[in-house]
Every structure is written in structure tokens, then in C-alpha cells.
Structure 1
Amino acid sequence: MSDHDVAIVGGGAVGLHLACLLAQRGVDVVVLERRTDPSAASRAIGIHPPGLAALDAAGVGGAVRAEATEIRSGVALSRGRLLARVRFGGQPILALPQHRTEALLRERLDALAPGALRTGIELAGLDDDGERVALATHGDGAVRARWAVGADGIRSTTRQLLGIRMLPRRGVGGYAMADAPDTTRAGATAMLHLEPGGIVESFPMPGGQRRWVARLAAPEPGMTTAQLQRILDQRVPEPPLLPADATTSAFLARQRLAERFVRGRVVLVGDAAHEVSPIGGQGMSLGWLDGLALDRALARGTAPADELAAYERGRRRAAERAMRRAAWNMAMGAPAGRAELEARLALVRALAVPPGSAAVRAAFTMRGL
């Protein structure tokens, strides 16, 4: 049985980020990841200003900036007409595929603590004796640590072994997305097309690509590229041409909050603690802010129970604020009849001018979380 200061379950974006923060302080950290190979799936791309500050704290902000595309403004349109524009000023949102962000974090962790990331290891059991946590695994033997952290995502095994329930929150909807060459001439601008059938969002990405996300009337797990193309053709005045080999994914966006984030010497971070709708793209950055807060709590160390209680209170409030914002975004993008859509468009126009524009800018850039 190997012995460590902190054992992190989950080697995704949030777990790797926390491991880097800890390793920088000389903490003996180990990361247990069940996958043997990194995922290259099309997932989160948005890195908001607070998330970028968290990456700076872990020593990878510069590398992320070098690869990412800046999103400097957002526009709302309907039937091809411009409704509103919000500029993000000196705090752009960055777009970088999650697998590249994770690769940069893995490189940083390997430089700080070679061998700290162990792949092909799946958590099988937890035993917290009040002094240390023993983690039984399928794979490379058991691990023991002063603290254990569950950063193992929405279907967190850590959370399930602790018997912690996920409580539903407002906000649910079906979506489909795919990436395509950017032919919009929109540059560093995100576009939100508010249409009767539901919103279509598009975001610039590195390599001259743009991500397209369409709201669906209902989840369609078997969505094909051709089906998504038809939706874009119907809703967007100048639709993209999705490549025949594009990876199209359909998913159900929902929101859930763990009934608690801390149990004894085991702490939950990221999606293991809060499932926030990916619409608005704030879940990954929220997880990095969890990591910053937990690193500070463990660094103080003089009264662990008090520090972790404060961590839980603060991060729960932040997750609830993010969920309220995401629920509003989802409601604004749902399919709508003519009268309801016109009311939404009027609201969007009103929010495009002060003081509403300041609130919109703060929401999109994750200020206050």
C-alpha cells in the first residue's frame, strides 16, 4: 500500500489541476485515473477569465493562451437580424478543446511530480478511519492518504461509495453539437441565433474551426450529422457545411448538486460535486475554482474540519449561482411560440444597453463565482 498526503480520484481537467496546485507546494499527491489513454472526445472548450486565473495558479496559463482562440464578444441574432452585441473587453473567454487543456496539465504535473499520475486504476472502495483514508482499487494495489478527493466526474464512484445523493436543480434540455470549418466571417465573436425551433450557438475554436450547438425539442441520442445539418439549415441564415466525417453528439443537459461536498477526510470537486449545464460552458472553470479553494483549505491545515466546512459553504453557493445562470440561458434558448419568442427578443434588446449589459457581461465571464 502506497502512502501519500493527498489521493485524487480522477485524472481529468479538474483532478489534474488540483494535483498541480498541490505538487507546487511540495505536497505528496497521487492521481488515480481509470482510463489508460487520454480522451480525445469533443467536450468542453470554454475557459472563462476566473478559470484562466486558476490555470495561471497551476502554471499552465501561458501555454493555454498560446494555443487557445479568444472570444472577444457575443452577438444575439434572430432571422438574421442583429439584436444585441456584448463585448468582453480586456477579459475575453478562451476556446481550447478540453483534451488539449488536459494534455498541458498532464505535462505540468509530470514536471512537478513525475509518476504522480497513475492510469488504468479504478477505485473500488474507501475506508476513512479518521486519520487516513484507504482507497481499494482495481489495478495497481491499494493507496492510503491523509486526504482523498473525488474528481471523477458526473458518475463519480467516490460519491457513490460515500452514499452521497445528487439533488436535481432547475434546468434541463436536449442539445446536439458538432465542429466544422469556420465560414462565418464572425472572427472572435460568439453567435447566438434565437429562433422558434430553439437556439443555435456557435463559438470560434483553434485551427479555423467553429463549434455549433443546437437546442432540440427533445433529446435524440441517435442524432446523425445529416440530421443536425438539417436543423442548422432551417435555423441559420448562412449555415455551416458540416463535414461528412464530423463527430456529432447529442446530449441531455441537466443540473444536479451533491447533498454534501465533504464527508470526513474525503472531498468532492468539479462535476463530482455539481453537474452544471454545459450551456454557457462554465462547468470546467467552476471545477478549477473548486480546486483553488480546496488547495487553500488544505494549505492552512490548522483546523481541517473548519476549513473544509468553509470550502463546502463557499463552493456550494458558487455552484448554485452558476446553475441559476445556466437555467436562465437554457430557458431563453428553448423552442418557443411567436408571442413568447418576441418577448424574449425584446428582453435581449433591453439587456444590450446599460445597466443590463454589465450584468450580461458579468454572467458570461463568470464574475462573482
Structure 2
Amino acid sequence: MYLAVLLLQEGVSVQVLEQRVNRSGHSRAIGVHPPALESLAKAGIAEAMTREGIRITHGEARSAGRRVARLDFAAASARYPFVLTLPQVRTEQLLEQRLHALDPGALVRAARVDAVTDSGAAVRVHGTGGGGPFTVDASLLVAADGARSSIRSALETRWSARELPDTYLMGDYPDGTGDGPLAVLYLEPEGIVESFPLPGGLRRWVVHTDALEQDPTAVHLAELVRRRTGHRLDSAGNSMLSAFGVRIGRAHRLVSGRTVLIGDAAHQISPIGGQGMNLGWLDAAALAPIIADSLRGLPAGGALRDFERRRRRDAAVASAQAQLNMVLGRPLPAGMMALRNAGLERMFQVPALGGVVARRFSMQ
């Protein structure tokens, strides 16, 4: 939807084929980093997002009840000196409203893509919708259909993926911490606990677990948080609960003829650190001007090769950062945890190093 908005603003005719009939209410992604906000401003929704979301200007790492380190995001961006939290479902609503304002017919729901044919001069998409089979002809096709991309499979694009050993339990609860708009990482021997403020007086909690929870409950997650941090959560007020593992992957080719892969269809990274959704937006922002120029008759071959090289590089950097975040959150014996935390504390006493880490965490 974001890419469609950018292209419509450039006068390009678009159609968004969405398999779901209704938007999912299950909101995992909440963090919007400064580079993504800069890009979303071009689509006309950043102002509404920042008005509704929580602006996190600082983050803290704590362990055994004391502060180990503090991150300041204020210097990360002149225009957006914070990381924004806003539930994904609301971000999608704002994007859809903007898309509808530009072209009420651009978004087509209940449209499943079954096959793609590239003639060299155009792309033909074959699918099934509410009214039966359909065919769409287009100059270009962009596949943003997730890590299990059926279009990527149809193109026979090589996909390298692997499971990581980390598992997590995540949920949203009424915020009784008193931490306000502060993000907190609890570095504890049993594993990390992450805590992020959300609009509506809520706070998201993410706990590293020993194994994937098969039947998670809000009571169990609250108990894990209490044991590791001392905070008592209101289980009756839980509004979202999810257990998940981590799988990373990458496509070996992003551009195939007249089809381009973006987002999780191109590169799947760990959700820890909240970079995947932002990475997809930045893919779209980089691709939109290339598409607009190519449809005006300008040669796109070199620009697409540069796009592919840069997006693969940026995805590799984001994936490495996410995996580092996971390493820091794994369980450690108490003695080793104390030594590691002492090293972090000394490191963050150097302002320049703290600034580098803050910029890296916010995708600068």
C-alpha cells in the first residue's frame, strides 16, 4: 500500500492485489524508526502517525534492579528524534485511507495470485477473486507477499533460510510501570525481557523463552515478567498474546524480468529490534522513483541493479543488528551476566559509543 501511494502521487496507475478479505487485527510490528518516518512523510501519513503514536526518545538497559546503560535517540534524526511506537493495525489503516483518497479502486481484496507470466514486454497476473478467476496485465509487478512468497516461488528464485534457536513470548498489558515513554531492556540471567510503551496506556512485553510456547497464556507471560523484573502485570487486561520463533532468509535475486521482490519476500530478518517492517518501507521508497522513471521512458537497468545491491546490503546490516540483539538477550549464568553488564556499563560511559549504538538501533 505504501508503494502504491508513492506511485499514485507520481501519476502511475496501480492495483494492489490483497489475498485477505479483512485486515488482520493481530499486531506484531509496532516500532517505526526515523528513516522510515522520513519516507512515510512522503506518503502524507507520518504526521498522523506521530500524532497518535508514542515517541520514545530514550531507552534503558537494566539488570538486577539497577541501570546498566541509557540510550538517547534525540540525536538520531533532526526531524524525527525518536523511535515511534504505533500498533501495526493502525498504521495499515492510515495507509489504506491515504490509498483510498488517491484512488478508491486501487486496493482489491480477496484477490489471490495463482500464476505470473512475463512476456518480456509486460507481466500477466492470473488469480482467483470473489468473482472467480481474473487476469491483470501490467508493465511491472512488485511482490510484497511475505516470507512464504508464492510469487518468489513461481519465479523459481533461490531462497536461503534457517531457523535460529531463540524463541519468545509477547503480549500487551495495561502499563503500570511508571516508566512513561521509556523503552526498557531487562538483561537477566534467565533471558531478556523487553518493554515498550504503546498508545492507550498499554505496554508491550517480550520475553525470551527456553522453548516455543505451544499453548501460551497471559497469566504465564505475566509470571515470567514478574520473576525476572518484579513488575506485576494485569493479566485480565491483556489485549494481545503471541509466541514465536525466529527464522531468517534472503532471496538471491530481487529483480526477475519485470518482477521485483520487496519486504519479507526479499529478506526475512529477526523481529527483535523491530526492523523488518521498516526495511520493507525503505525498499518501497527506493523502488518507487525507479518505477516512475522507467514508465516515463528512462532506462531502468542500471538503477535496478543498484537498487538490488543496496537493498541486499541494507538487509544484511539490519539482519546482523537483529541477531546481535538476540545474542545480548540470551540466558547467561549470573556471573557471566554480571561481567557482561559491567562491560556494557563502561562502554556506555563513552558518549560517542552510546551515540553509535543509538543510531544503529534506530536504523541510522
Q: Smaller-chain TM-score range?
A: over 0.9
The TM-score, its normalising length taken from structure 2, stands at 0.93
Q: Matches of 2:22 and 2:339 in 1, distance apart?
A: 48
Aligned ranges for residues 25-174 of structure 1 at < 5 Å? 25-89=10-74, 91-139=81-129, 140=131, 141-168=134-161, 172-174=165-167
Distance 1:350 1:159, change over 3 A: farther
Alignment deviations for residues 122-145 of structure 1 (CA, whole Å, 9 cap, x no partner): 010000111111010011511111
Q: How many equivalent residue pairs?
A: 352
Instruction: For residue 170 of structure 1, report the CA deviation from its aligned partner.
Output: 8.6
Letter in 1 for 2:353: G
Report SS of the residue matched to 1:142. Answer: strand
Match of 1:347 among 340, 343, 347: 343
The residue number in structure 1 matching 2:177 is 184
Q: Matches of 2:237 and 2:55 in 1, distance apart?
A: 27
The residue number in structure 2 matching 1:250 is 243
Deviates more, 1:75-84 or 1:294-303: 294-303
The residue number in structure 2 matching 1:294 is 287
Q: Matches of 2:220 and 2:157 in 1, distance apart?
A: 39
Which 4+ stretches in 1 moved above 4 angstroms?
Answer: 169-172
Alignment deviations for residues 183-239 of structure 1 (CA, whole Å, 9 cap, x no partner): 111111100000111000000000010000001122223222222122112101223
Is 1:305 aligned to residue 301 of structure 2? yes
Match of 2:208 among 209, 212, 215: 215
Alignment deviations for residues 150-194 of structure 1 (CA, whole Å, 9 cap, x no partner): 011121111111112321369551011000111111111100000
Contact 2:163 2:246 in 1 (8 A): no
Instruction: For residue 255 of structure 1, report the CA deviation from its aligned partner.
Output: 1.6
Instruction: For residue 149 of structure 1, report the CA deviation from its aligned partner.
Output: 0.5
Is 1:262 aligned to residue 260 of structure 2? no
Q: Matches of 2:241 and 2:23 in 1, distance apart?
A: 20
Letter in 1 for 2:43: A
Contact 2:188 2:331 in 1 (8 A): yes
The TM-score, its normalising length taken from structure 1, stands at 0.92
Letter in 2 for 1:130: G
Aligned ranges for residues 1-16 of structure 1 at < 5 Å? 16=1
Deviates more, 1:258-267 or 1:344-353: 344-353
Is 1:360 aligned to residue 357 of structure 2? yes
Q: Matches of 2:66 and 2:336 in 1, distance apart?
A: 18
Contact 1:178 1:242 in 2 (8 A): no
Report SS of the residue matched to 1:82. Answer: strand
Report SS of the residue matched to 1:175. Answer: strand
Alignment deviations for residues 92-142 of structure 1 (CA, whole Å, 9 cap, x no partner): 000000010010000001111120000000010000111111010011511
Q: Matches of 1:351 and 1:250 in 2, distance apart?
A: 33
Instruction: For residue 279 of structure 1, report the CA deviation from its aligned partner.
Output: 0.5
Contact 2:59 2:71 in 1 (8 A): yes
The residue number in structure 1 matching 2:8 is 23
Q: Matches of 2:54 and 2:159 in 1, distance apart?
A: 34
Q: Matches of 2:204 and 2:237 in 1, distance apart?
A: 15
Give the gaps of 5 or more residues in structure 2.
76-80
Letter in 2 for 1:38: R
